[in-house]
Amino acid sequence: MSTASASADMMDGIYRYQRHIYDLTRRHYLLGRNDLIATLQPPPGGSILEVGCGTARNLILTARRYPEAQLYGLDISAEMLKSAQANIRANNLEHRIRVAKADATRFDAEALFERAMFDRVFCSYSLSMIPGWENALEQACQAVAAQGELHVVDFGQQSQLPAWFGKALKAWLARFHVTPRERLGDAMTGLATQTGGTLSFRSIYRDYARIGAIRLP
């Protein structure tokens, strides 16, 4: 079995039942998602891709905030995409949001969506679940159009919170195959240098999470 197939099977196993309560339970600790959506600010009629779209919660909120944008999402879990498609239909957004199954570490956006580049690409708490997260980040950056932006939010290292809290959180997250990426800032710095882009990156909520963006030239 390939690595991608093994990852897909693992994610489907995790979310086969959890997808029904995912948004209800995650809203209390996936902090910074709305902060990211607020900073996207796509151009009029712009395109937005989410890598690791899950239930489409972020895509739906983004569609409401930016009513002229066209949105796309990919996820490796067929189970999560069932919820995504149902949520998109329930919100009457089928004409504006398209989702597809794909591996974040090696996706072909043009084959999936007939569009190779996007004005905004974002990853929201997905990199901490992807074994090859650095490859996924690079793939996401390659899908950003000229003068577009790559946005990321994910778990920090809880460096400004009590030590017991960070230790307990990481142990709990590990049960769901989630690993906060300590080198996220370094990886985004490297991509910004490589592409000639401009990076903004910071900790939020006492380093509970980290949020960053690369603007391409």
pLDDT in tens, 60-119: 999 999 999 999 999 999 998 999 999 999 999 999 999 999 999 999 999 999 999 999
Instruction: State whether the Cα torsion 88-90-92-95 is positive or negative.
Output: positive
Confidence bin at 3 (pLDDT 50/70/90) = low
Report yes or no: 140 and 109 within 8 Å, Cβ to Cβ. Answer: no
Please give the DSSP secondary-structure letter assigned to residue 101.
Answer: E
**How far is it, in rounded angstroms, from Cα 151 to Cα 197?**
12
Mean pLDDT of the chain: 89
Which pTM was predicted? 0.88
Per-residue confidence band for 22, with pLDDT thresholds at 50, 70 and 90: very low
Written as six digits, the tokens of 157 are 């290292």
The pLDDT of residue 20 is 41
Residues 25/84/156/161 CA torsion (nearest 10 deg): -20
Q: What is the CB neighbour count within 10 angstroms for residue 65?
A: 14
Q: How many CB atoms lie within 10 A of CB 105?
A: 21
What domains does the chain contain, in order, with CATH numbers? 3-215 (3.40.50.150)
At a CB cut-off of 8 Å and minimum separation 6, what does 127 contact? 52, 133, 136, 137, 152, 154, 181, 184
Write the pLDDT tens digit of every residue in 157-182: 998 888 888 888 888 888 888 999 99
Mean pLDDT is lowest, of 76-80, 146-150, 209-213, for 76-80
